[in-house]
Structure 1
């Protein structure tokens, strides 16, 4: 099952204005924002509903990938297994398994770049 999806845009401000307006009639709005200072790279805006962000918009250059897809893992061991299998299948590391507390205290994810450079993640939100 998909957990969330993200896109990279050339102008975050312009994209924010567009998605704020376009998604509002669907009951989707900004749930979370993560600054560039927190990520150490780009700023991200998380759109969603009921307190859960599931559509992310962020800035970035050509080396950040244009698409990010995150799959739900049943537990942290599933995240670890995803990372190991993806790396063995030719993926490139984009963030090893571990906690990402800047999202929330139990966010445990792993990131790999697929053969085309797309950012693929497995994530578990459950406590250890």
Structure 2
């Protein structure tokens, strides 16, 4: 469905450290990193697309996180959701909802919500039974 998703940042080095840790836990591979541009991207293991990219805004204007926007990453299991959440908080993220079941979405939805250091909302979710 998706080719790629871009999320803008103002402090590229801080965002790179944050997303590198979260992507490592999720098993996503680095696709490219060009700090001089600056931008970096990751994709699912063994795949080329879709990919997720962080970058400074193309138009040169300041970054502003979008209200009501969120990027959600799939985790292979509940332990991975918890590990990604811990990595996010350890590298400067803030909690928007601790790991747990969210049965209002479906009986096996296990998710965690956080904001990256730039204020962008992120979710990590598993849809598998325990």
TM-score by length of 1: 0.49
Question: TM-score, normalising length from structure 2?
Answer: 0.48
- Larger helix fraction of residues: 1
